[in-house]
Chain A
Amino acid sequence: AQKVTQAQTEISVVEKEDVTLDCVYETRDTTYYLFWYKQPPSGELVFLIRRNSFDEQNEISGRYSWNFQKSTSSFNFTITASQVVDSAVYFCALSSTSGAGSYQLTFGKGTKLSVIP
Protein backbone atom coordinates (compact mmCIF):
# COMPACT_ATOMS: atom_id res chain seq x y z
CA ALA A 1 0.00 0.00 0.00
CA GLN A 2 1.11 3.51 -0.69
CA LYS A 3 1.12 6.26 1.86
CA VAL A 4 1.98 9.94 1.88
CA THR A 5 2.54 11.79 5.12
CA GLN A 6 2.52 15.53 5.47
CA ALA A 7 3.16 16.00 9.15
CA GLN A 8 2.58 19.75 9.12
CA THR A 9 -1.12 20.47 9.22
CA GLU A 10 -0.85 24.25 9.26
CA ILE A 11 2.04 26.66 8.93
CA SER A 12 2.02 30.42 9.30
CA VAL A 13 4.88 32.58 8.15
CA VAL A 14 5.43 36.28 7.74
CA GLU A 15 5.78 37.54 4.21
CA LYS A 16 9.29 37.24 2.76
CA GLU A 17 10.22 34.38 5.06
CA ASP A 18 11.28 31.05 3.60
CA VAL A 19 9.15 28.02 4.37
CA THR A 20 9.62 24.30 3.81
CA LEU A 21 6.74 21.88 3.51
CA ASP A 22 7.62 18.31 4.38
CA CYS A 23 6.49 15.18 2.58
CA VAL A 24 7.40 11.59 3.41
CA TYR A 25 6.13 8.70 1.36
CA GLU A 26 5.91 4.92 1.48
CA THR A 27 5.72 2.62 -1.51
CA ARG A 28 6.85 -0.83 -2.52
CA ASP A 29 7.14 0.20 -6.15
CA THR A 30 10.56 0.67 -7.66
CA THR A 31 9.30 3.26 -10.09
CA TYR A 32 6.85 5.92 -9.13
CA TYR A 33 5.98 9.57 -9.50
CA LEU A 34 5.86 12.23 -6.83
CA PHE A 35 3.81 15.39 -7.15
CA TRP A 36 3.11 18.66 -5.44
CA TYR A 37 -0.17 20.50 -5.96
CA LYS A 38 -1.41 23.83 -4.68
CA GLN A 39 -5.07 24.24 -3.81
CA PRO A 40 -6.16 27.86 -3.34
CA PRO A 41 -9.52 28.68 -1.74
CA SER A 42 -11.22 28.32 -5.13
CA GLY A 43 -10.57 24.60 -4.86
CA GLU A 44 -8.95 24.02 -8.23
CA LEU A 45 -5.75 22.02 -7.98
CA VAL A 46 -2.73 23.74 -9.45
CA PHE A 47 0.02 21.39 -10.61
CA LEU A 48 3.45 22.41 -9.37
CA ILE A 49 5.81 19.56 -10.12
CA ARG A 50 6.11 15.90 -11.00
CA ARG A 51 9.26 13.96 -10.18
CA ASN A 52 10.14 10.50 -11.47
CA SER A 53 11.67 8.20 -8.89
CA PHE A 54 14.72 7.76 -11.09
CA ASP A 55 15.46 11.45 -11.08
CA GLU A 56 16.88 12.58 -7.77
CA GLN A 57 18.09 15.92 -8.97
CA ASN A 58 16.74 18.79 -6.99
CA GLU A 59 14.77 21.32 -8.93
CA ILE A 60 14.33 25.04 -8.70
CA SER A 61 11.59 27.03 -10.39
CA GLY A 62 11.62 30.68 -9.44
CA ARG A 63 10.90 30.91 -5.73
CA TYR A 64 10.02 27.22 -5.54
CA SER A 65 12.48 24.42 -4.99
CA TRP A 66 12.14 20.72 -4.31
CA ASN A 67 14.46 18.37 -2.48
CA PHE A 68 14.00 14.70 -3.36
CA GLN A 69 15.84 12.33 -1.04
CA LYS A 70 15.16 8.74 -2.01
CA SER A 71 17.22 7.43 0.90
CA THR A 72 14.81 9.00 3.37
CA SER A 73 11.70 8.75 1.14
CA SER A 74 11.16 12.46 1.34
CA PHE A 75 10.17 15.06 -1.22
CA ASN A 76 10.21 18.42 0.49
CA PHE A 77 9.05 21.70 -1.00
CA THR A 78 10.56 25.07 -0.17
CA ILE A 79 9.14 28.47 -0.97
CA THR A 80 11.68 31.25 -0.80
CA ALA A 81 10.64 34.80 0.07
CA SER A 82 7.03 33.82 0.61
CA GLN A 83 4.22 36.04 -0.60
CA VAL A 84 0.61 36.40 0.44
CA VAL A 85 -0.45 34.78 -2.84
CA ASP A 86 1.30 31.62 -1.70
CA SER A 87 -1.37 31.12 0.95
CA ALA A 88 -3.11 27.86 0.08
CA VAL A 89 -3.26 24.20 0.94
CA TYR A 90 -0.40 22.24 -0.54
CA PHE A 91 -0.69 18.54 -1.28
CA CYS A 92 2.05 16.04 -1.87
CA ALA A 93 1.00 12.99 -3.88
CA LEU A 94 2.39 9.68 -5.10
CA SER A 95 1.48 7.39 -7.96
CA SER A 96 2.83 4.10 -9.21
CA THR A 97 3.69 3.72 -12.87
CA SER A 98 2.73 0.11 -13.49
CA GLY A 99 0.40 -2.63 -12.39
CA ALA A 100 -3.06 -2.39 -10.94
CA GLY A 101 -3.75 1.06 -9.67
CA SER A 102 -1.13 2.69 -11.81
CA TYR A 103 -1.37 6.45 -12.11
CA GLN A 104 -3.91 6.70 -9.32
CA LEU A 105 -2.74 9.43 -6.99
CA THR A 106 -2.41 8.89 -3.29
CA PHE A 107 -2.52 12.26 -1.58
CA GLY A 108 -1.15 13.41 1.71
CA LYS A 109 -3.49 15.23 4.06
CA GLY A 110 -2.20 18.58 2.96
CA THR A 111 -0.46 21.49 4.64
CA LYS A 112 -2.29 24.76 4.96
CA LEU A 113 0.12 27.61 4.48
CA SER A 114 -0.82 31.09 5.62
CA VAL A 115 1.47 33.93 4.66
CA ILE A 116 0.89 36.97 6.82
CA PRO A 117 1.59 40.37 5.31
Chain B
Amino acid sequence: GAVVSQHPSWVICKSGTSVKIECRSLDFQATTMFWYRQFPKQSLMLMATSNEGSKATYEQGVEKDKFLINHASLTLSTLTVTSAHPEDSSFYICSARGRILAGVVEQFFGPGTRLTVL
Protein backbone atom coordinates (compact mmCIF):
# COMPACT_ATOMS: atom_id res chain seq x y z
CA GLY B 1 0.00 0.00 0.00
CA ALA B 2 0.88 3.65 -0.22
CA VAL B 3 3.47 4.80 2.30
CA VAL B 4 4.55 8.13 3.67
CA SER B 5 7.97 8.42 5.26
CA GLN B 6 9.44 11.03 7.53
CA HIS B 7 13.06 11.75 8.21
CA PRO B 8 14.46 11.92 10.76
CA SER B 9 12.27 9.87 13.08
CA TRP B 10 13.73 11.71 16.04
CA VAL B 11 16.08 14.60 16.53
CA ILE B 12 17.68 16.33 19.49
CA CYS B 13 19.09 19.79 18.97
CA LYS B 14 20.36 22.74 20.91
CA SER B 15 18.24 25.81 21.42
CA GLY B 16 18.70 28.32 18.63
CA THR B 17 19.48 25.84 15.88
CA SER B 18 17.26 25.03 12.92
CA VAL B 19 15.90 21.60 12.18
CA LYS B 20 14.55 20.30 8.89
CA ILE B 21 12.03 17.48 8.74
CA GLU B 22 11.29 15.72 5.47
CA CYS B 23 8.04 14.11 4.46
CA ARG B 24 7.98 11.89 1.39
CA SER B 25 5.23 10.04 -0.38
CA LEU B 26 6.93 6.89 -1.56
CA ASP B 27 4.68 5.49 -4.26
CA PHE B 28 2.21 8.17 -5.14
CA GLN B 29 2.18 11.85 -5.96
CA ALA B 30 0.99 14.02 -3.11
CA THR B 31 -0.73 17.11 -4.37
CA THR B 32 -1.45 18.20 -0.83
CA MET B 33 0.52 17.71 2.35
CA PHE B 34 -0.54 18.57 5.86
CA TRP B 35 1.68 19.17 8.88
CA TYR B 36 0.41 18.42 12.36
CA ARG B 37 1.95 18.92 15.77
CA GLN B 38 1.24 16.85 18.84
CA PHE B 39 2.38 17.83 22.31
CA PRO B 40 2.72 15.06 24.93
CA LYS B 41 -0.60 13.57 25.93
CA GLN B 42 -2.47 15.93 23.67
CA SER B 43 -4.22 15.68 20.35
CA LEU B 44 -2.91 16.45 16.90
CA MET B 45 -3.25 20.04 15.81
CA LEU B 46 -3.01 21.12 12.20
CA MET B 47 -0.18 23.55 11.60
CA ALA B 48 -0.35 24.14 7.87
CA THR B 49 -1.51 22.84 4.53
CA SER B 50 0.73 22.90 1.51
CA ASN B 51 -0.06 22.29 -2.12
CA GLU B 52 2.72 21.44 -4.53
CA GLY B 53 4.21 24.52 -6.09
CA SER B 54 2.39 27.07 -3.95
CA LYS B 55 2.85 28.70 -0.59
CA ALA B 56 1.64 26.90 2.48
CA THR B 57 -1.48 28.01 4.30
CA TYR B 58 -0.87 28.29 8.01
CA GLU B 59 -3.40 27.85 10.78
CA GLN B 60 -4.09 30.70 13.12
CA GLY B 61 -1.42 31.01 15.77
CA VAL B 62 1.29 29.20 13.79
CA GLU B 63 4.23 31.45 12.97
CA LYS B 64 5.04 31.08 9.30
CA ASP B 65 8.50 32.59 9.75
CA LYS B 66 9.34 30.04 12.39
CA PHE B 67 7.89 26.98 10.70
CA LEU B 68 9.00 27.12 7.10
CA ILE B 69 7.22 24.72 4.79
CA ASN B 70 8.39 23.87 1.32
CA HIS B 71 6.48 21.59 -1.04
CA ALA B 72 8.76 21.73 -4.04
CA SER B 73 7.79 18.44 -5.63
CA LEU B 74 4.86 16.04 -5.70
CA THR B 75 6.66 13.63 -3.43
CA LEU B 76 8.47 15.83 -0.95
CA SER B 77 7.52 18.43 1.60
CA THR B 78 9.85 19.83 4.24
CA LEU B 79 9.17 21.54 7.53
CA THR B 80 12.00 23.63 8.94
CA VAL B 81 11.79 24.72 12.55
CA THR B 82 13.96 27.83 12.66
CA SER B 83 15.75 28.95 15.80
CA ALA B 84 14.19 26.13 17.76
CA HIS B 85 13.45 26.57 21.45
CA PRO B 86 12.47 24.04 24.12
CA GLU B 87 8.79 24.94 23.72
CA ASP B 88 9.02 23.68 20.12
CA SER B 89 9.73 20.19 21.40
CA SER B 90 6.91 18.10 20.05
CA PHE B 91 5.89 15.25 17.79
CA TYR B 92 5.53 16.46 14.21
CA ILE B 93 3.42 14.37 11.84
CA CYS B 94 2.89 14.90 8.16
CA SER B 95 0.03 13.63 6.05
CA ALA B 96 0.08 13.30 2.28
CA ARG B 97 -2.94 13.28 0.05
CA GLY B 98 -2.87 12.19 -3.56
CA ARG B 99 -4.16 9.86 -6.23
CA ILE B 100 -2.96 6.32 -5.74
CA LEU B 101 -5.12 4.60 -8.32
CA ALA B 102 -7.09 5.95 -11.21
CA GLY B 103 -9.96 7.92 -9.70
CA VAL B 104 -9.02 7.08 -6.13
CA VAL B 105 -7.60 9.76 -3.89
CA GLU B 106 -6.37 8.81 -0.45
CA GLN B 107 -4.59 10.38 2.46
CA PHE B 108 -1.86 8.78 4.55
CA PHE B 109 0.05 9.75 7.65
CA GLY B 110 3.77 9.56 8.12
CA PRO B 111 5.26 7.90 11.19
CA GLY B 112 6.11 11.20 12.85
CA THR B 113 9.27 12.99 13.96
CA ARG B 114 9.98 13.55 17.62
CA LEU B 115 11.84 16.81 18.16
CA THR B 116 13.54 17.57 21.45
CA VAL B 117 15.14 20.97 21.88
CA LEU B 118 17.58 21.27 24.76
Interface residues, chain A, CB within 8 Å of chain B? 37, 42-45, 47, 91, 101, 103-110
Complex contact B114–A104 (CB within 8 A): no
**B115 contacts A by Cβ under 8 Å:** no
Q: CA of A7 to CA of B107 in the docked complex: distance in angstroms?
A: 26
Cα A37 to Cα B43 in complex, Å, equals: 12
In the bound complex, how far is the Cα of B47 from the Cα of A101, in angstroms? Answer: 12
Q: Complex formed: what's the CA distance from A107 to B49 in Å?
A: 15
Known: A43-B111, A43-B114, A47-B109. A107 touches B43 (CB 8 A): yes
Q: A45 touches which one: B42, B93, B97 (CB < 8 A)?
A: B93
Is the Cβ of A103 less than 8 Å from the Cβ of B43? no
Report the count of interface residues on B (CB-CB < 8 A): 19
Q: Which of B34, B109, B111, B112 contacts A104 (CB 8 A)?
A: B34
Interface residues of B (CB under 8 A from A): 32, 34, 36, 42-46, 49, 91, 93, 95, 97, 107-109, 111-112, 114
Pairwise interchain contact B34-A105, C-beta atoms closer than 8 A: yes
Which A residues are CB-close (under 8 A) to B95?
105
Assess A91 versus B44: contact at CB under 8 Å? Given A43-B111, A105-B34: yes
A19 to B109, CA, bound (A): 26
7 smallest beta-carbon distances between A and B, as pairs: A44-B111, A45-B109, A107-B43, A109-B43, A107-B44, A43-B112, A110-B43
* Pairwise interchain contact A103-B32, C-beta atoms closer than 8 A: yes
Q: Which residues of B contact A110 (CB under 8 A)?
A: 43
B112 to chain A: which residues have CB within 8 Å?
Answer: 43-45
Residues of A within 8 A of B91 (CB): 43
Are A105 and B43 interface neighbours, CB within 8 A? no
A20 CB to closest chain B CB, in angstroms? 20
* Complex CA–CA separation, A14 to B32 (angstroms): 42
6 CB contacts below 8 A, A to B, read: A43-B111, A43-B112, A44-B112, A105-B34, A105-B44, A107-B43
Which residues of A lie under 8 Å from residue B34 when comparing CB positions? 103-105
